[in-house]
Chains A and B, each alone.
Chain A
Amino acid sequence: MGLPLFDAQSDPGPSFVRFAEMSGLALPPTSSDHSAHATTVVAVRYADGVVMVADRQATSYYVANRDIRKIEAADRYSALAISGSAARGIEFIRLAQLSFEHYEKMSDSSLSLEGKANYLSPLIQRNNLTTALVVLPLLAGWDLAHQRGRIFEYDGAGGCYERHDFAVIGSGTPFADSTLRLGYRPDLERDDALALAALAIYEAADNDPSTGGPDFVRNIFPMIVTLTSEGFRELDRTVSEGVFRSINDRRSESGGVAGGALR
């Protein structure tokens, strides 16, 4: 690639996607549906931010990957999670991360959280309306201007909706969503929010064959991420192990019964 210089009329500005399309770097996606799918991520708002938990399994007709990462830092203060086509999803995260950084370098200021959320809409729309490889992301972050954690979810056509309580994406959604609906309170503290989000993933894994639960044999545990005034933070594997072990112990004690005092 030579030096990408543009005149004032054709300049793509600080948008990496526009630049990538103009210079032929981003190819239009083509269609095929024998690919791995990434599943079930939850995000829960609490007093000082957002906690996200994601299982680690990618599934095609069988388990394609046991330790895939479905949440990545989009930048210092936001995280992107993916469900749907793993191939397109990972590409989507790469493009989003680069777009935010590109904007920041080009214009010497970072995009607002809402700006980031809106920027993703047409990307999702374009991907989902032109291919069978549907991607549904989830954006969560700490809004520096308004000093609070925020969650944005998307529909298949790219519509962006802010959620004030929690959001779920992926094939385990019915089970994770029900768990969150029953357990969510607006005044959750971090540890309670974390335990609730983990329980939602546990339930999804228990009922949805495409969602992977805690893997005590291989020591692979769902990913846990927090977004607070300190930014994106991925919690240690041992934290996740502790949280899921305690859910698992309770569930063993109750003989697999999800309801009641041992929930």
Chain B
Amino acid sequence: MSNYFYVAPEQLIKDRAEFAQKGIARGRSIVAAIYDVGVVLVAENPSASLYKISEIYDRIAFAGVGKYNEFDRLREAGIRWADGTGYTYSREDVDARALANYYAQHLGDMFTEGQKPLEVEILVAQLGNKFRSTKLYRIAYEGTISDEENFAVLGGDAETIKERFAALGVGHLSLGETLKNAMTALAGPDRVVPVVDFEVGVLEDHGDRRTFSRLDDPEIARLLA
């Protein structure tokens, strides 16, 4: 006879949540913010090749914190979903809200039914146009999806960083100012984080179909000056 211990569902959920939160808190945070003409995503990331911020589609970007292998698989699935949807219907039909909902469903399923919950928190950002508005969808490890206004913070330290970022300025500032504020908020008052340890991705219209670009260190330095 196998040993079977009764665990109250409340306890089970609490344990799983704690497990996921611990995993997420181990990594550094990400700030995503809407600026006057685009969306900027800023991650503290000492690796120059293992990205936390990526392009999903023409006007959609992805950011993930927590376990790299787990959010990278979600990133890949997002690209496949977007390319597949655009191929089947039209590029215009690829919508961040639909993708964010699929992510939320998957994270929710993994949280309740998976072997273990995913130790990730992700963000789907969409740059608006005539037909859609600019959006930041934050999806937590248990599948909670939130439509964030103006900016979103992911990661273990989210609440503190959120306060710091909000205190630095409200409204849609320029890219340079927003970037500076995001970096200051991520670093906090007691740390100095060198520019090379930041990864920055931007969604901005330059007349091309694809709007995502990565900012390299010289560009970041120029924007901060």
**A residues near B, CB below 8 A?**
1-6, 16, 19-20, 23, 25, 94-95, 98, 101-102, 105-106, 108
Is A4 a contact of B81 with CB atoms below 8 Å? yes
Interface string of B90-129 (1 = CB under 8 A from A): 0000000000001101100000000000000000000000
B168–chain A nearest beta-carbon distance, Å:
31
Distance of A1 Cα from B98 Cα, bound (Å): 10
Is A98 a contact of B87 with CB atoms below 8 Å? yes
Indicate if B79 sits at the interface (CB-CB under 8 A): yes
A62–chain B nearest beta-carbon distance, Å:
30
A101–chain B nearest beta-carbon distance, Å:
7
Q: Which residues of A contact B105 (CB under 8 A)?
A: 3
| Nearest 7 pairs of A and B residues by beta carbon | A3-B102, A4-B80, A5-B77, A105-B79, A3-B77, A102-B83, A3-B106
How many residue pairs, one in A and one in B, have C-beta atoms under 8 Å apart? Answer: 51
Indicate if B55 sits at the interface (CB-CB under 8 A): yes
Interface string of B62-76 (1 = CB under 8 A from A): 000000000001001
Indicate if B85 sits at the interface (CB-CB under 8 A): yes
Is A5 a contact of B55 with CB atoms below 8 Å? no
Q: Which residues of A contact B88 (CB under 8 A)?
A: 1, 25
Indicate if B54 sits at the interface (CB-CB under 8 A): yes
Distance of A105 Cα from B103 Cα, bound (Å): 18
> Provided the pairs A23-B84, A101-B83, A102-B79 are in contact, do residues A108 and B73 lie with their beta carbons within 8 angstroms?
no
Residue of B55, B81, B83 contacting most chain A CB atoms (<10 Å)? B83
Is A20 a contact of B87 with CB atoms below 8 Å? yes
Is A1 a contact of B85 with CB atoms below 8 Å? yes
Is A106 a contact of B76 with CB atoms below 8 Å? yes
Distance of A106 Cα from B72 Cα, bound (Å): 10
Q: Which residues of B contact A20 (CB under 8 A)?
A: 84, 87
A190–chain B nearest beta-carbon distance, Å:
25
Closest to A3 in B: B102
Q: Which residues of A contact B54 (CB under 8 A)?
A: 105, 108
> Provided the pairs A1-B88, A25-B88 are in contact, do residues A108 and B77 lie with their beta carbons within 8 angstroms?
no
